[in-house]
Amino acid sequence: MQYIPNILFAILLVVGIGYFTRNVKKLVRNIKLGKPLDRSDNSNLRWKNMANIALGQSKMVRRPIAGLLHIIVYVGFIIINIEVLEIIIDGLFGTHRILSFLGGFYSFLIGSFEILAFMVIVAVTIFWLRRNVVKLKRFWNKEMKGWPKEDGNLILYIEAILMILFLTMNASDVHFQEMNAGNPISRFIADILPTNPDTLHIIERITWWLHIAGILFFLNYLYFSKHLHILLAFPNTYYANLEPKGKFRNNETVKKEVEMMMDPNADPFAAPAEHTEEEGEPEKFGASDATDLNWVQLMNAYTCTECGRCTSVCPANQTGKELSPRAIMMKTRDRMEEIGKNIDKNGSFQEDGKQLLNDYITPEELWACTSCNACVEECPVNIDPLSIIMDMRQYLVMEQSAAPQELNLMMTNIENNGAPWQYNQMDRLNWKDES
């Protein structure tokens, strides 16, 4: 009978970690559905970016209040979970605070964790007030209705509850209090708890179990939440685009066509070469569905924190247009999730009559973009919504000939006149005669 709690704990641990592993494999599979892209260059700079941006939160603190609060929650989440190691050892082997042999250092360590836990509670309370009382505009865009709004609040509730359970667990642990460990926070809570040792033991055991169960629940909730960025921010910043932000990636298929046109030795009247079985079908120009995007763009979509900083600086969105860079990423992720569920159900993807273009993202949104890169510059984890927008625009132009009239006119002028304007090349210098 004495080993039943240990067995139950081991089962809980295996189930929790097993389900998490299963979802991580699905996540990796979905991301790998994207087109190949080589981002193995300049590893030193990539490691530096990851250290500064993902670990060091350098872009978060551009908005000092939110940045400071986020750092508190972030550090709290990382450091306090060191204490989970002790819980796992105690749960598997039936020990109690096995690391207490460290003596004064252990008391200092847990005491520091308690201060941090209290600061996390304060921080998430402020975050909740900003979302629901102050109602910052970027948290109330139309794409944040329904589940995204509830998800943001639910995360705050979970984080606060985990910290309260941690503090109550320490406060009700008679052995811990007899060590004169902790700090005034847990001692204050201990003063308002019952004094009966048996009652305190029950409270301590309940909060201990709820705390570790809550951590495992939170771990598995990540896959279904915007807080997946806790895991993906690191690879996302590592594999981010290092090119200047105004430089666009060449489409290799278009590049080959242009090179052929400019080759003086090429026969313009030669019939197109037949594609061999090894070469496959000609590549689609641009992207109409999520799987037409590259794997880094799909990872971007899963990494999106839904913070709305990108949308808050988007000039198109500020002038009332349909475009929201955050919505572009959220819709891409939603489409990938739909594709993933299709594969789970059928073993391989079965055509569902849907695609990212039109069913999720409208041409109106795509053409509203000014390609200013403000969204890319602002994102705290180096997500690039503009690359998705440009790939989908390319599909509209080159596959559907569905460019706006103004753009068609400009391209016609460039073709005929060598300039975007509707003037003959011979008239290009007439302005000098008017001065």
pLDDT at 248: 84
Q: pLDDT confidence of 353, banded at 50, 70, 90?
A: very high
Dihedral (Cα; 82, 83, 85, 90), 10-degree rounding: 170
Give the structural domain span for 392. Answer: 252-262+281-417
pLDDT at 191 over 50: yes
42 within some domain: no
Which DSSP category does 61 fall into? G
Q: Which of 99-103, 172-176, 405-409, 423-427 has the highest mean pLDDT?
A: 405-409
The verdict on 17 and 146 lying in the same domain is: yes
Dump pLDDT digits (tens) for 272-284. 554 444 445 556 8
Confidence band, pLDDT 50/70/90 cuts, at residue 181: low
Q: Looking at residue 268, what is its pLDDT?
A: 59
Number of domains within the chain: 2
Say whether both 336 and 230 belong to one domain.
Answer: no
What phi-psi label fits residue 299: left (phi over 0), alpha (psi between -120 and 50 degrees) or beta? Answer: alpha
DSSP symbols for 14-30: HHHHHHHHHHHHHHHHH
Which of these ranges, 61-70, 249-258, 400-409, has the smallest mean pLDDT?
249-258
Q: Return the minimum-mean-pLDDT range out of 167-181, 260-274, 309-323.
A: 260-274
Are 99 and 193 in a shared domain? yes
Residues 258 and 336 in one domain: yes
Average pLDDT over the chain, rounded to an integer: 89
Task: Evaluate whether residue 43 is within a structural domain.
Answer: no
Asked whether the predicted pLDDT for residue 401 surpasses 80, the reply is yes
Least confident of 86-100, 243-257, 313-327: 243-257
Residue 229: per-residue pLDDT: 92
Q: Are residues 77 and 210 in the same domain?
A: yes
State whether 114 and 11 are in the same domain: yes
Q: Are 230 and 258 part of one and the same domain?
A: no
383: CATH:
1.10.1060.10
The pLDDT of 372-388, averaged and rounded, is 96
Same-domain pairing of 175 and 307: no
pLDDT score of 360: 96
57 belongs to a structural domain: no
Residue 256 shares a structural domain with residue 199: no
Distance CA(77)–CA(325), nearest Å, equals 28
Do residue 228 and residue 339 come from a single domain? no
Give the pLDDT confidence of 234-273 residue by residue, as tens digits.
999 999 999 998 888 887 777 777 787 777 776 656 655 5
Q: Do 165 and 26 fall within a single domain? A: yes
Determine the residue type at 89: I
What is the average pLDDT across 377-401?
94
Q: What is the pLDDT of residue 275?
A: 47
Q: Give yes or no: residues 147 and 178 share one domain.
A: yes
Please tell me the predicted confidence (pLDDT) of residue 435.
58
Residue 428 placed within a domain: no
| Residue 179 scores a pLDDT above 50 | yes
SS3 sequence of 134-195: CCCHHHCCHHHCCHHHHHHHHHHHHHHHHHHHHHHHHHCCHHHHHCCCCCHHHHHHHHHCCC
The answer to whether residue 403 is domain-embedded is yes
In a domain, 82, yes or no: yes
> Bridge partners of 294?
35
54, part of any domain:
no
399 inside domain: yes
Please tell me what DSSP assigns to residue 272. P
For residues 89 and 423, the model is more confident at 89
- Report which of residues 79 and 167 the model is more confident about: 167
